């Protein structure tokens, strides 16, 4: 399962604070490692991580969101699952691109998952709300999006 998190950091005179970027990067790395995920990359305001299961990825997304909010950093997250290509520490492939597009669709504060992830977590006891459908490049049909309740 691939998790992409985008951050909106505070600004001072419309210039993003480098300290805010660093705090987000640290939160993303620690949050991923805490639930035994693997960080693929962390850019200024984006992180991409992979997990061996979707529940871990959802927990991580929520933890990063909640911790970042305490520091005044808003996040939005997208999750998708599928076969990825690993090159060293970097992960690539359609699931990475799709998770990034799902994160981009989200509002700040949201954690959104695709129907592919939803299929894997059914019966897990986690409640979800249906966020409708959207056309995401890279998917054969309209994608249904869900948010953990």
Q: What is the pLDDT of residues 101-138, one digit of tens each?
A: 999 999 999 999 999 999 999 888 888 999 998 888 87
Contact 115, 143 (CB under 8 A): yes
Residues 6+ apart with CB under 8 A from 141: none
Name the pairing type of β-strands 11-12 and 90-92: unpaired
Q: What is the distance between the alpha carbons of residues 10 and 126, in angstroms, rounded to a whole number?
A: 32
pLDDT tens digits along 33-63: 999 999 999 988 899 999 999 999 999 999 9
With H, G, I as helix, E, B as strand and everything else as coil, classify residue 140.
coil
Owner of token pair 């005044």? 72
On the question of pLDDT at 15 being above 60, the answer is no
Contact 127, 64 (CB under 8 A): no
């Amino acid at each position: 399962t691939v998790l992409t998190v985008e951050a909106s950091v505070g600004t001072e005179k419309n210039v993003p604070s480098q300290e805010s970027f660093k705090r987000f990067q640290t939160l993303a790395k620690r949050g991923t490692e805490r639930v035994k995920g693997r960080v693929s990359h962390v850019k200024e305001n984006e992180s991409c991580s992979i997990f061996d299961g979707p529940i871990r990825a959802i927990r991580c997304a929520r933890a990063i969101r909640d911790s970042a909010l305490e520091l005044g950093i808003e996040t939005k997250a997208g999750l998708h699952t599928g076969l990825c290509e690993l090159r060293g520490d970097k992960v690539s492939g359609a699931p990475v691109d799709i998770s990034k597009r799902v994160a981009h669709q989200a509002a700040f504060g949201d954690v959104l998952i695709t129907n592919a992830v939803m299929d894997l977590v059914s019966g897990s006891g986690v409640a979800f709300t249906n966020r409708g459908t959207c056309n995401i490049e890279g998917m054969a049909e309209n994608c249904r999006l869900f948010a953990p309740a």
